[in-house]
Amino acid sequence: MQAYFAQSRLIRTPKDPSRFRVEAFRRYINRKYGLNLKDYHDLQEYSISDYTFWKDLWDYEGIVYSKPPEKIIAEGRMKESPVWFPGSLWNYAENLLRHNSDAIACTSVRETGEITNYTFRQLRSMVKDLAAAMRADGLKVGDRVAAIVTNSIDALVICLAALSIGAIYSSSATDMGAKGVLERYRQIQPRMLFTETEVTYGGKAIDLMPKAAEIVPNLKEHGLRRVVLLPSTRTKRYPQIPSEWQNCTTMEQFLANGDGRPLTFEQVPFSHPAFILYSSGTSGVPKCIVHSGGGVFMNNLKEALFTYDLASNDTFFQFTTTGWMMWNAMLQVLAQGVRLIAYDGSPFYPSLHHFVKLLDDLGVNVFGTSPRFLAEVQAAGIEPLKLGAFDAMRTIFSAGAVLTAPMFEWAQQAFGPDIHITTGTGGTDICGGFITSVFLSFYCEAIFSGFSKLQGLPVALQ
């Protein structure tokens, strides 16, 4: 460990802090209570010493609700699992879809070069149509909706439509085998399953129907009542549905069966489940990890505001599949009016050079990646600043593994001295981060390579 830290060198010395959202939040709390929190460290201490912090965050994030909370926290069925904001009623999807403008909400990008923009108004309309079809098919509060989908506009719409009804959503990536999918989805007994039928990865077409043929009959013994097939991401055509697959339809026909009802948001408690994630399965069958919509929304919108300093019309790109918790965590940027990049495919196709250039072409402000990706870029001898100006880029956030001090230094040199290179640590069990590096620290604290700068709000680490 000592040898690791010996490699760390000073990257950047402090400058005068500018006006960042976490600073505005600190001043907001000072004014509200007549406190004198001087800096982020004082704010962090306040956040772990007083539950009032959470109500401050509720107000600051502008949570949309139909009934306010009676208190901040109450005793739950288990001591370790208290009830947050008891008495409140709200809806996760309503909060993500609070914007309804012609600004771009999501840019769906496929490795084939297909790029499609969807406005907040279009996204809301797509969710409305799918939610109407789901309700017409009998989906109700508490039902589980499972999906085997790429990181695309389809995954986003399926998720938000399900959550608008108060259903619980769970997704897996298309590269997971049938055994892995069944080990997870048999436990949650989904009422509906949405699945891709053909995808491309690394330039190769992958037929998913044989895998679906293993999964569908098995899940029908565990409560599955409806299967919806998505068209090929390559040809946009549907496969022939096997005659023995009862209650199976295409997405096109499923939407046509909707009754056109307006989009309504089922009001549920703050602690109502929204997502089911899973442990890795390295020590047996994967364990279900159930996350409340309120917890995921509030915690990760906090990250969008304070870690990334995101604002309306910014662009956020987290490279992930739908099977990683980062997919669930990234959705919250939509509530801030931020454009979300949904990328489907391999970063190595058609080439790594092409992918790196794409970051500049899309005007990405914050890019979430991994040390492995940065190592591949370095090994390929790619010089990013020769591929584009990267003048929109502010932050590159590395997660999933340790970002070593040498790789930290290389990334800083490769992408430029004014880009915030940072790393953090978190987990699927909280669907969020423990240690982070708020954008503010890039300007007002010394930066050392390989270091995670700060404990997150409100995280108490020993």
Q: What is the pLDDT of residue 444?
A: 47
Paired tokens of 252: 């096109």
pLDDT of residue 375: 97
Among 422, 419, 400, 431, smallest CA distance to 330 is for 431
139, 146, 167, 153: which is closest to 261 by C-alpha?
A: 139
In this predicted model, what pLDDT tens digit does every residue of 142-161 receive, in sequence order?
Answer: 999 999 999 999 999 999 99
227 φ/ψ angles, rounded to the nearest 5 degrees: -120, 130
- Of 300, 302, 313, 312, the closest CA to residue 22 belongs to 302
Do 236 and 266 contact (CB within 8 A), yes or no?
Answer: no
Contact 60, 28 (CB under 8 A): yes
Q: Which of 124, 76, 21 is nearest to 270 (CA)?
A: 76
> In 3D, which of 205, 214, 219 has the Cα closest to residue 242?
214
Q: At 403, is the pLDDT very low, low, confident or very high (cuts 50, 70, 90)? A: confident
Q: For position 284, what pLDDT does the model report?
A: 87
| pLDDT of amino acid 74 | 94
Amino acid letter for position 140: K
Confidence at 307, pLDDT banded by 50, 70, 90 = confident
Q: What pLDDT does 280 receive? A: 86
pLDDT at 418: 86
Query: Residue 162 and residue 134: Cα distance in Å, rounded?
Result: 8
Pairing of strands 420-423, 198-201: unpaired
How far apart, in whole angstroms, are the C-alpha atoms of residue 419 and residue 422?
Answer: 9
What pLDDT is stored for residue 81 in this prediction? 84
Q: Is the pLDDT of residue 448 over 80?
A: no
443 pLDDT tier (thresholds 50, 70, 90): very low
* Whole-number Å distance between alpha carbons of 257 and 189: 24
CATH of the domain spanning 119-268, picked from 3.40.50.980, 3.40.50.1370, 2.60.40.4070, 3.30.300.30: 3.40.50.980
pLDDT at 183 over 60: yes
Q: What is the mean pLDDT of residues 250-266?
A: 97
pLDDT of residue 461: 59
For the chain, the structural domain boundaries read 119-268
Which percentage of the chain shows pLDDT scores above 90? 78
Which residue reads 């489907």 in tokens?
344
What pLDDT is recorded for position 14?
45
Does the pLDDT value for residue 258 go beyond 80?
yes
Kindly give, in sequence order, each residue whose CB lies less than 8 Å from that of residue 444, ignoring residues fewer than 6 positions away.
14, 15, 16, 17, 39
The predicted structure's pLDDT at residue 282? 83
| Overall average pLDDT of the 66-90 stretch | 93
Q: Check residue 62 and report its DSSP letter.
A: T
pLDDT tens digits along 207-249: 999 999 999 999 999 999 999 999 999 999 999 999 889 899 9
Q: What is the pTM of this model?
A: 0.93
Q: What is the mean pLDDT of residues 313-331?
A: 96
pLDDT value of position 7: 58
Integer Cα distance of 371 and 449 in angstroms:
13
3-state secondary structure of 439: coil
Q: What is the mean pLDDT of residues 339-363?
A: 98
Confidence band for 17, pLDDT divided at 50, 70 and 90: low
CA 350 to chain centre: 25
Q: How far apart are CA 72 and CA 76, in angstroms?
A: 13
- The 10s digit of each residue's pLDDT in 38-57 is 988 899 899 999 999 999 99
DSSP β-ladder status, 192-195 and 144-148? parallel
The whole-number pLDDT of residue 169 equals: 98
CA distance 192 to 252: 16
Interaxial angle between packed helices 371-379 and 405-415, expressed in degrees from 0 to 180 and rounded to the nearest 10: 60
User: Is the bond preceding 210 in cis, omega lying within 30 degrees of 0?
Assistant: no
Q: Residues 6 or more apart from 425 whose CB is under 8 A from it?
A: 399, 433, 434, 435, 452
**Mean pLDDT, rounded, of the chain:** 91
172 or 432, higher pLDDT: 172
Residue 12: what pLDDT?
A: 56
Distance CA 339, CA 457 (A): 24
Q: Which two tokens stand for residue 256?
A: 């046509």
Please classify residue 366 by burial: count the beta carbons closer than 10 Å to its beta carbon, then call 0-12 exposed, 13-18 middle and 19+ buried.
buried
DSSP-assigned states of every residue in 132-167:
HHHHHTT--TT-EEEEE--SSHHHHHHHHHHHHTT-
How many whole angstroms separate alpha carbon 329 and alpha carbon 295?
Answer: 11
pLDDT at 455 exceeding the cut of 80: no
Q: How far apart are CA 60 and CA 56, in angstroms?
A: 6
| Amino acid of residue 95 | N
Other residues' Cβ atoms within 10 Å of the Cβ of residue 275: 24
Confidence of residue 441 (pLDDT cuts 50, 70, 90): very low
The larger pLDDT score, comparing residue 7 to residue 57, is at: 57
d(CA 439, CA 266): 36
Please give the pLDDT value at position 250: 98
pLDDT band at 1 (very low <50, low <70, confident <90, very high): very low
